[in-house]
Structure 1
Amino acid sequence: MQRSPDLIEQLDRSTDQLKRARLRSMQLLAVGLLLLAALVFAVARSQRGGHPAWGYVEAFAEASMVGAIADWFAVVALFRHPLGIPLWHTAIIPNSKAEIGRSLGAFVENHFITEQGIAERIVQADPAQRLGAWLDDSTHAQQLGMASAGVVRQLLSMADHEKLGQLLRDQASSYLGQLNLSDVAADCIDALIADGKPQELLDFLLDRGAAYLDDDSHHAAIGDFVLGAFQIENALIKKALKAYEPRMIASLQKFSIAVRIAPDHPLRQRIAGWIADSALHLKADPHWQETVRRYQLQLIASDTVQAMLGELWDNVSARLLADLHGEQPVLAQAIASLARNTGKVLGTDFHARQWLNDAIVAGSATLVRRYRGEVGAFIASRLDLWSKEEMSSRIELAIGRDLQFIRINGTVVGGLAGLLIHAASQAF
């Protein structure tokens, strides 16, 4: 398959060949008219004494030759020295190449690359509408998603993961260090209280405790716990406590059931008060806040947390790369969905389209102000790359065919002028 530059070069050559052929045909036509005028002049000259009309024909033909030659000289003098003779003020275009480049660049800058002109063209083109229609096409959205995923995959493969991991760990540590954990904890407690979660948690614990107490296999462990808690070593006291163990467990069961079935039990109120007081202390007690802050910083600086934060980038990048190497990456699908939604918004929301078009117009005005001066310099520099002969040849191919009509018109108009002059001379 041919590369695009090769194809463009072939098209340019074909266009130049066509223009050159058309120019050549017009040149031959102009030369043919000159030769025809010369032939008519010779015939009329030879027959001048035969009839007065031949004088008019001779005058027409003679003036036609003068007009044709004069206009040939004028046209040729634009591009080269006529007959190779370096006459004054000929070969105008090649000798003025630098000035033409500067003038052309200034003309384009002043009349085409203007803020108003570019803005009007953007408004007419309505790029927001075009972009919306393009993005709303599912094929285009999928292509954009896959292309974006490919770019991200390439960027990840070239990234310095060690530096990125260190950066992410430092940023996460800084963010966690700036977090006011006291306020967060207090807000969480307030939210839990508002939803009745502490009472639900107490009910759960009471239910689990009652179930534990109902299981006879746990009674011995309960008794041993009581003996260990009071550090009782006397065998008589141990025996007495063991004897009261069933009554103690029954009393605990009765108490837990009483708390469980009574929404207004004093213990419930006392626990709710403790929790509410904790939220108030976290919000307003400097000592509590300083204690939480100290433990927070100690936890963040601990080896365990730092190791977790250090592995964060490795885990994220590994998961992301695994997704990007799949046939249908989630990232590509997300970008495609975002593109389609953007296209739908631009297609249906006039204000969104107007905002985007206005933004493009504003951006174009900034670019025009910043780079307009470089447009003329660019045009002039490109023309400087051409030789005088190449520039003359290119301009002649562009407008030379139309200039041949000057020669043709000169032949006809010159002949008519000569005819009128001859007629006037004969009349007076």
Structure 2
Amino acid sequence: MPPAPILAEPRSADQLKRDRLRTMQWVAVGLLLAAALLFALARSQRASHPAWGYLEAFAEASMVGAIADWFAVVALFRHPLGIPVWHTAIIPNSKDSIGQSLGAFVENHFITEQGIAERIAQADPAELLGAWLRDPLHAQQLGQSSAGVAKQLLSMLDHEHLRELVRSKASAYLGQLNLSSVAADCIDALIADGKPQELLDFVLDKGADYLADESHHAAIGDFALNAFHIENKLVKAALVLYEARMIRSLQEFVVAVRADAQHPVRSRLSGWIGDSALHLKNDPRWQDTVRQYQQQALASDKVQAMLGEAWDSLVARLQADLDSEQPALARAIARLAGNTGKVLGSDATARQWLNDTIVAGSSALVRRYRGEVGAFIESRLALWSKDEMSERIELAIGRDLQFIRINGTVVGGLAGLLIHTVSQAF
């Protein structure tokens, strides 16, 4: 098997420019040499025919034009032939002023509020963004990418610090919460919805069922004896004899309260509950008592541990979602992106608002950083040495400058020919 051919490495952009520059320089030098040879030939044959005089004048003027333009072009970048002639090596010697002028030129003519605003208006970024987001594939990619970024950020967080931060912030917030006012508002809302009466009905129903069950009567009797601390045997015997009547009377009372929506017990209950709401709002003693219990509860180890675990619980649920094949976060972001794209596609007002916002933001950035653009350009150019700056500029425009030498050779020759022709005519 023949050996594989060795492929040449691709030349860099600078090397390519350097090669093209050298080619054009040799072309200009070749024309100068051709003019010199033509001059020597025409001068040696001048006596044989008048036409050689015209060629001699053309060649002589061509050499003068070529040398003059060579001097002019070289003087931009270095001293011709190394001789420090006055006002040569213009670019190296003017490096700092060039950097300042270039920075000011870019600031004044390119980085302008009006220019940036016009370019943004022409681009219509809101429409472009809307079209991109309306593509389901793009929306899905955005959701997946966002979920991936969220997963990486989650793994980079200082969870110990955040756990303590959440615990301390939650404790501070709950400690500043006016629990008395919150409880009073809740009671007012319950009263407005009739919830206390519904609760009383529930308790009465359960109480009536309990009293109707004869298996509970002995326990009710024992409760009455113990509640009144009755030790006398005669009184105990009498109470036992009236136990059934007492329970029946209590059951009738419960049924009566349950059946009568206007029963005085109900109104007294509403009054008690309403009074408690007023006390919570206006009574300093009630408020101090609630605040004490509130602070004691927050200071307990159990509540503090629960608040500290809130961050861990949130992280665990988020991590479990991000580890799944179809994270809910990714789907939510994808839906949001798709809906945003639809709005931007159908609502011209929304597109205009977004474009105006982008223009306003860009104008603010231009106003804030415009002065730094020129300083940045100047600082970057200051890092280059004089020779490096001269070489970079020569690589950028040197090939085109060689056409000045070529044109000088040709135009100079034509001018010399014209002058010789006119002198011969007169």
Partner of 2:74: 76
**Whole-Å Cα distance in 1 between the matches of residues 281 and 386 of structure 2?**
84
State the secondary structure of the residue aligned to 1:233: coil
Do the aligned residues in 2 keep the contact of 1:213 with 1:249 (CA within 8 Å)? yes
**Whole-Å Cα distance in 2 between the matches of residues 147 and 353 of structure 1?**
29
Partner of 1:14: 12
Partner of 1:39: 37
**Whole-Å Cα distance in 1 between the matches of residues 151 and 100 of structure 2?**
44
Partner of 1:102: 100
Do the aligned residues in 2 keep the contact of 1:141 with 1:337 (CA within 8 Å)? no
| Alignment deviations for residues 140-165 of structure 1 (CA, whole Å, 9 cap, x no partner) | 42244224313432342xx262x544
Partner of 1:91: 89
Which of 263, 267, 270 is the aligned partner of 1:269? Answer: 267
Query: Deviation of residue 223 (structure 1)?
Result: 0.9
Partner of 2:185: 187
Partner of 2:232: 234
Write out aligned runs for 1:316-395 (5 A). Answer: 316-317=314-315, 319-320=317-318, 334=332, 338=336, 341-395=339-393
**Whole-Å Cα distance in 2 between the matches of residues 123 and 210 of structure 1?**
78
| Alignment deviations for residues 195-230 of structure 1 (CA, whole Å, 9 cap, x no partner) | 221111111111211222222221111111011111
Unaligned residue ranges in structure 2 (runs of 5+) = 1-8
| Alignment deviations for residues 93-139 of structure 1 (CA, whole Å, 9 cap, x no partner) | 22322332232223223333334334444444444555555555224
State the secondary structure of the residue aligned to 2:230: coil
Write out aligned runs for 1:133-172 (5 A). Answer: 137-156=138-157, 159=158, 161=160, 163-172=161-170
Query: Deviation of residue 281 (structure 1)?
Result: 3.0
Partner of 1:3: none
Query: Deviation of residue 357 (structure 1)?
Result: 4.2
Do the aligned residues in 1 keep the contact of 2:183 with 2:277 (CA within 8 Å)? yes
In the alignment, is residue 417 of structure 1 matched against residue 415 of structure 2? Answer: yes
Amino acid at match of 2:293: Y
**Whole-Å Cα distance in 2 between the matches of residues 310 and 23 of structure 1?**
71
In the alignment, is residue 249 of structure 1 matched against residue 247 of structure 2? Answer: yes
Of stretches 390-399 and 268-277 in structure 1, the one that deviates more from structure 2 is 268-277
Partner of 2:4: none
Amino acid at match of 1:18: L
Amino acid at match of 1:60: F
Percent identity for Structure 1 against Structure 2? 74
Query: Deviation of residue 78 (structure 1)?
Result: 1.4
State the secondary structure of the residue aligned to 2:12: helix
State the secondary structure of the residue aligned to 1:74: helix
Query: Deviation of residue 347 (structure 1)?
Result: 4.9
Amino acid at match of 1:268: R
> CA separation of 1:146/1:311 partners in 2, compared to 1, >3 Å: closer, same or farther?
closer
| Alignment deviations for residues 307-348 of structure 1 (CA, whole Å, 9 cap, x no partner) | 443444454455555655666555555555555555555555
State the secondary structure of the residue aligned to 1:309: helix
Amino acid at match of 2:251: Q
Partner of 2:396: 398
> CA separation of 1:322/1:419 partners in 2, compared to 1, >3 Å: closer, same or farther?
same
Partner of 2:23: 25
TM-score, normalised relative to structure 1: 0.85
> CA separation of 1:45/1:377 partners in 2, compared to 1, >3 Å: closer, same or farther?
same
State the secondary structure of the residue aligned to 1:263: coil
Amino acid at match of 1:243: L
Which of 65, 68, 93 is the aligned partner of 1:67? Answer: 65
> CA separation of 1:22/1:106 partners in 2, compared to 1, >3 Å: closer, same or farther?
same
Partner of 1:426: 424
TM-score, normalised relative to structure 2: 0.85
Amino acid at match of 2:232: N
Amino acid at match of 1:101: G
Do the aligned residues in 2 keep the contact of 1:149 with 1:331 (CA within 8 Å)? no
Query: Deviation of residue 62 (structure 1)?
Result: 1.8
Amino acid at match of 1:276: G
**Whole-Å Cα distance in 2 between the matches of residues 324 and 72 of structure 1?**
69
Aligned length: 415
Do the aligned residues in 1 keep the contact of 2:46 with 2:53 (CA within 8 Å)? yes
| Alignment deviations for residues 21-64 of structure 1 (CA, whole Å, 9 cap, x no partner) | 22222222222222332333333333333333332222222211
| Alignment deviations for residues 147-194 of structure 1 (CA, whole Å, 9 cap, x no partner) | 4313432342xx262x54444333333322322222212211121122
In the alignment, is residue 214 of structure 1 matched against residue 212 of structure 2? Answer: yes
Do the aligned residues in 2 keep the contact of 1:56 with 1:419 (CA within 8 Å)? yes
Do the aligned residues in 2 keep the contact of 1:213 with 1:219 (CA within 8 Å)? yes
Do the aligned residues in 1 keep the contact of 2:297 with 2:303 (CA within 8 Å)? yes
Unaligned residue ranges in structure 1 (runs of 5+) = 1-9
Amino acid at match of 2:139: S
Query: Deviation of residue 410 (structure 1)?
Result: 0.8
Do the aligned residues in 1 keep the contact of 2:32 with 2:62 (CA within 8 Å)? yes
Do the aligned residues in 2 keep the contact of 1:97 with 1:388 (CA within 8 Å)? yes
**Whole-Å Cα distance in 2 between the matches of residues 97 and 176 of structure 1?**
66
| Alignment deviations for residues 254-273 of structure 1 (CA, whole Å, 9 cap, x no partner) | 22222222222232222222
Do the aligned residues in 2 keep the contact of 1:165 with 1:313 (CA within 8 Å)? yes
Indicate the RMSD between aligned Cα atoms, in angstroms: 3.0
Of stretches 42-51 and 256-265 in structure 1, the one that deviates more from structure 2 is 42-51
**Whole-Å Cα distance in 2 between the matches of residues 127 and 51 of structure 1?**
74
**Whole-Å Cα distance in 1 between the matches of residues 305 and 313 of structure 2?**
12
